[in-house]
A and B are shown apart, each in its own frame.
Chain A
Amino acid sequence: MTLTVRLVFLLTFCFGFGTVDAQSVNDHGSAADHHSPEIECGSHDEYDPAGVILHHIADANEFHVVGDFTFPLPVILYAPDHGFTFGLSSMFHHGQTAVDGYVMNHGRINRLTDAPADLMEGHHVVECIAHSSTEIDGKTRDVYSALIDGERYTLDAPSVGDGGLLGGGITSFYDLSITKNVFTMLLAAVLLILLWWRVARGYKKNAGKAPSGIQSLMEPFFVFLRDEITIPMIGEKHYERFQPFIMTIFFFVLFANLLGLVPIFPGSANVTGNLAVTMALAVIAAIVAYVHGNRHYWEHTLWMPGVPALIKVFILTPVEILGLVIKPFSLMVRLFANITAGHIIILSLISLIFIFGNNGESVIGAGAGAVVAVAFTLFMNCIELLVAFVQAFIFAILSASYIGAAVEDAHHHDEAGHHGEEKVAEGGVMGGAVTGMHTAAD
């Protein structure tokens, strides 16, 4: 195991630094060429904490390691009018080169709009990327544009699934790249597979014996999740079918959370603090619950027996149907908000150093800021460590409770009305408990 891990790390680093070195040489070359237009476009002399923080918690197409070094990531882009574009993110030279009409804007790939056809093919030099705010439909929006051969071209962000509600929506291209977050998820998946493969091997090796080594370290997690989540939430009868799902969701969320807390290279990505990730996980959990919902569950959700038809039509059924959506929505928002909040707080505290230091002019201020920031960051990191576990636990326990409600057998059908009340009361207590935990963790 240790040998395998060492080899994997060695290969990753060899590959990584090999490409990084090549890339940084290119960077210096092009930086010298385009020094003057960058100043024209306005460089960032002022320290802008909000911009830095939002940049750090956002997803990116390249993985920043240290200084000018970035770890290039594979790029997979699709534009309906152009087809697929593949490559490594290093080919964009941090925004100084446009490839097939794609430009890197603050780590994210954007696409030129209204550009002549020859710009949409091959490599072109980008003089700079400018930023302005304009009013569109009464809302202020950030507009970025790229300056190529003296012409300004507005940039399109990748398509997002917000339906245009948050200023996104479907644009001229789709970004299916292995981004920083995808890379971290893959890393978490690989680590989980290595870890649990080794644990499972222990069971084969120590069959009929006491567990040893990593097996005895991880076994309490498995047993805890089984005895504290799956069995109480889903019930003795059905829990075995869902134990693998609950285990996977708990550990996937936990590892993504923990990797996000690591401040250096393979970590630091804000994976579970990205709505796309939590949305995908919450929807998967909801689908698992609703697909396994039995007749009893759907009857009680859509047409509660023992309640007057009018109440059912106008109150109960609409509320229950809303509930079907709200359940995964709350899962999605809870995890996203907790993790993003943690990242923002830590980055804000780190920003204090630069704010107190007055952009490097006041060393004493920077020193004082550093003392304060280090103390508070240390404290926040401890809290975030707790939050990483608590949120993974809450995500798992709530998924399990939704599944448990869906697969629960009809116990006393004759007093169905009473049963319904009981369920609601149970839900209230559960919700209260979870909210309590959640607030405490915050």
Chain B
Amino acid sequence: MSTLLLVDFNVLKPDLGLIFWTVIIFLALYFILGRLAWEPIQKALRRRDEEIQTSIDEAKRAREEMQAQADENQRLLIEAREERTRIIGEAEKQSKEMISAAKNEAREAAQKVASDAKRDIDNMRKAAMVDLKKEVGTMAIEIAEKILQKDLKSDANQEAFVRELVRDLN
């Protein structure tokens, strides 16, 4: 039972050989694992973290871009609608203007035509009158000649006849 004594509790006695091997094995393990595993894993994890961060940022940016695009589209749509309304309104206005202009023009043209015609008619009437007067004058002279040749043998006849003629003329 003497083995119960603490002196034989030899896990408490730090064996020099065991200390030596622990140090050697631990340091070797540290360097091998550091080279083989820890450094590459750390690097890979860091790279992955960065990649994830970049992807998230990228996604956020893309979403923002899409939102901006959608806003832009909306804006363009509204603008287009406004433009359409404006264009339609303008076209209506223009067509009205055109119609009224055409109407005016037509009216003017018609008036012009009418006034021209009137003037022509007047001119022609005047010319006709002149011609008629000339014709009547010529006929009066011819008649006068004939009368003169036939009835101007008596003075009294002559005078009465002239008078009658003059009265008729008026």
Contacts and interface: CB of A to CB of B under 8 A. Distances in A.
B36 A182 contact: no
Chain B interface bracket (under 10, 10 to 19, 20 to 34, 35 or more): 35 or more
What is the predominant secondary structure among interface residues of chain A facing chain B? Answer: helix
A203 B44 contact: yes
Interface stretch (B20-28, B63-71, B81-89, B106-114): B20-28
Contact of A279 (B19, B28, B30, B38): B19
Given A48-B1, A199-B41, A166 B7 contact: yes
A222 interface: yes
A91 to B, nearest CB: 18
B32 interface: yes
Nearest to A279: B14
B3 A161 contact: no
A199 B37 contact: yes
A280 B26 contact: yes
A59 B40 contact: no
Contact of B18 (A167, A249, A276): A276
Contacts of B45: 219, 222-223, 226
Interface string B26-59: 1111101110111111101100000100000000
Contact of B5 (A142, A185, A200, A252): A142
A108 B17 CA distance: 12
B168 interface: no
A340 B11 contact: yes
A277 interface: yes
Interface string A185-206: 1100100110011011001100
A133 B23 CA distance: 35
B12 to A, nearest CB: 5
Given A50-B3, A193-B33, A276 B39 contact: no
B42 A273 contact: no
A160 interface: yes
B8 interface: yes
B2 interface: yes
A248 B19 contact: no
Contacts of B41: 196, 199-200, 203, 219, 222
A248 B4 contact: no
A162 interface: yes
B2 A277 contact: no
Contact of A48 (B3, B5, B15, B34): B3
A336 interface: yes
A63 B144 CA distance: 179
B18 to A, nearest CB: 4
A299 interface: no
A21 B14 CA distance: 33
Given A54-B10, A167-B7, A273-B11, A244 B38 contact: yes
A114 interface: no
A204 B39 CA distance: 12
Contacts of B21: 176, 178-179, 181-182, 185
Contacts of A204: 40, 44
A279 to B, nearest CB: 5
Given A142-B5, A177-B17, A193-B29, A274 B11 contact: yes
Given A51-B3, A208-B51, A243-B38, A158 B30 contact: no
Interface of A: 48, 50-51, 54, 57-59, 76, 108, 131, 133, 139-142, 157-162, 166-168, 174-179, 181-182, 185-186, 189, 192-193, 196-197, 199-200, 203-204, 207-208, 219, 222-223, 226, 240, 243-245, 247-249, 251-252, 270, 273-277, 279-281, 284, 336, 340
Report, nearest first, the 4 A-B pairs whose CB atoms are least far apart: A196-B37, A276-B18, A280-B22, A203-B44
Interface of B: 1-23, 25-30, 32-34, 36-42, 44-45, 51
Given A54-B3, A197-B37, A247-B33, 5 more contacts: A142-B3, A142-B8, A168-B13, A219-B45, A340-B11
24 contacts: A54-B10, A58-B10, A58-B11, A139-B7, A158-B15, A159-B16, A160-B13, A161-B14, A175-B16, A175-B17, A181-B21, A182-B17, A182-B22, A197-B37, A204-B40, A244-B38, A251-B33, A252-B26, A274-B18, A275-B11, A276-B19, A277-B19, A280-B18, A284-B27
